[in-house]
Amino acid sequence: MSMHPHEPMLIAAGTFNGEIFVWSLQDDEIKEMVAVSEIRGHSDAVTQIEWMDKIYSERFLLLSSAVDGYLMVWKVQPKSYCFSCDARYIMEKSDLAYPPGITCFGYSPKDPTICVVSVEGGQLYCCYLDSDNPVTKVAVENQYHGDVTCISFSPFQKDMFATTGTNLQIKIYILGEPAPLHTIWCDSNKVGIQWCNTQENVLAAWGSGNHVDVYDVLSGNLITKLSTSDQQKDQLLSAMQYNKKRPQYLAIGDVDGYTYIWKIPLKFVTNNMLSV
Contact 94, 45 (CB under 8 A): no
Run of H or E residues at 72:
strand 70-77
Point out which residues pair with 24 in neighbouring strands: 10, 31
Tens-place pLDDT, residues 115-173: 999 999 888 998 888 766 667 766 555 555 678 999 999 999 889 999 998 888 999 99
Closest C-alpha among 126, 97, 103, 88 to residue 45: 103
Q: State how beta strands 249-254 and 259-263 pair.
A: antiparallel
70-111 pLDDT per residue, tens? 999 988 877 776 778 888 888 876 656 678 899 999 999 888
The torsion of the CA quartet 205, 208, 212, 216, rounded to 10 degrees, works out to: -40
Q: Please give the full DSSP string across 182-199, using - where no structure is assigned.
A: EEEE-SS-EEEEEE-SS-
Q: Parse the chain into domains and list their residue ranges.
A: 1-90
Rounded Cα distance, 117 and 137, in Å? 9
* Residue 253 DSSP label: E
pTM of the model: 0.85
